A = this chain, B = another copy of it.
Amino acid sequence: MMLTGTRVADAYPTRTAGEREPFDRTHPAVWGTEQDGPLDAATLASHESNGFSVVEQLLSPAEVQGYWQELTRLSNDQELAGDERVVTEKKSGEVRSVFEVHRLSELITELVHDSRVLDRARQILGDDVYVHQCRVNYMPGFEGAGFYWHSDFETWHAEDGMPVPRAVSCSIALTDNYPFNGGLMVMPGSHRVFVPCAGETPRNHYRDSLREQEIGVPSKHEITKLAAEYGIEQFTGQAGSALWFDSNVMHGSGNNITPYPRSNIFIVFNSVTNALVEPFAADEPRPNFIANRDFTPLSR
């Protein structure tokens, strides 16, 4: 096999033939300083150490309501039905996620450029940023399926060609998160370790993995070790709060049998210096709506 010209050295090998030992990540989680933006030094230090930080009430109740209506509109948009960007629940066929919403919705385009969001992304990554992925997630009540444990960066590296973990996700809750309606669980500090996953990436893996992921997840053995070392924390809180989390933090969520749906807007920012190359462990890159290749820096 010939290496192409854009192939760069692989600092985070994964999708390996056999099990490989986890190793310490060499890149920081926080690249900027207090002087660069709204987050204070203590919050930045905590984000570096835990791999996440929370901003309560990033959106006002009125804004939450507006975005909720927008989500409902997108979920019911007949022009989008059958569109690849709309992912449905395996069991019920209900809408689970709508991708590329920053291009489908003016309201969400504004949010991505909003100083409350963009300035924090730029500060954490210490660089100009662009949107790697942007979606709304909807976990219906009664039969909402969760996501098994995974590191986003592992997938973005393997399947999208993201060189290093210099990306950060902002998840804004549009519904109240209780402990029992499928709230996100994270292992604080787990972002400092990269866990290679065994198994070759199947062709067009994203079509299944967006519903239920089987490749690109750590072994039970590794998850047990990580939980013992880092513990598990779960996010609960009111609609409008935002969770910023590092691209490599180990996270997952249980299912939701309560009548309370759980919904959020999910925006991934990547440093422009960390723009995508060829996938590190897949035959071809995933589509643009999942892994955007327009690296134009965002400005307010």
Q: Which residues of A contact B (CB under 8 A)?
A: 141-142, 146, 148-149, 178-180, 182-183, 185, 220, 223-224, 227-228, 232, 234, 252-260
Q: Do the beta carbons of B232 and A178 come within 8 Å of each other? A: yes
The docked-state distance in angstroms from the alpha carbon of A148 to that of B234 is 22
Given the complex, which residues of B lie within 8 Å of A227, measured CB to CB?
258-260
The listed residue (B148, B180, B220, B259) touching A254 by CB distance below 8 A is: B180
* A51 CB, nearest partner CB in chain B, Å: 18
Oligomeric state, in copies? 2
Q: Do the beta carbons of B182 and A254 come within 8 Å of each other? A: yes
Q: Do the beta carbons of B220 and A149 come within 8 Å of each other? A: no
A-side binding surface: helix, strand, loop or mixed? loop
Q: Do the beta carbons of A259 and B179 come within 8 Å of each other? A: no
Given the complex, which residues of B lie within 8 Å of A220, measured CB to CB?
141-142, 259
Q: A232-B180, A234-B180 are in contact. Are A255 and B258 (CB under 8 A)?
A: no
The listed residue (B179, B228, B258) touching A180 by CB distance below 8 A is: B179
* A209 CB, nearest partner CB in chain B, Å: 16
The docked-state distance in angstroms from the alpha carbon of A116 to that of B257 is 33
Q: Do the beta carbons of B149 and A257 come within 8 Å of each other? A: yes
Q: Do the beta carbons of B146 and A259 come within 8 Å of each other? A: no
**Lowest 3 A-B CB distances belong to which pairs?**
A179-B179, A224-B259, A255-B255
Given the complex, which residues of B lie within 8 Å of A183, measured CB to CB?
180
* A71 CB, nearest partner CB in chain B, Å: 19
* A136 CB, nearest partner CB in chain B, Å: 22
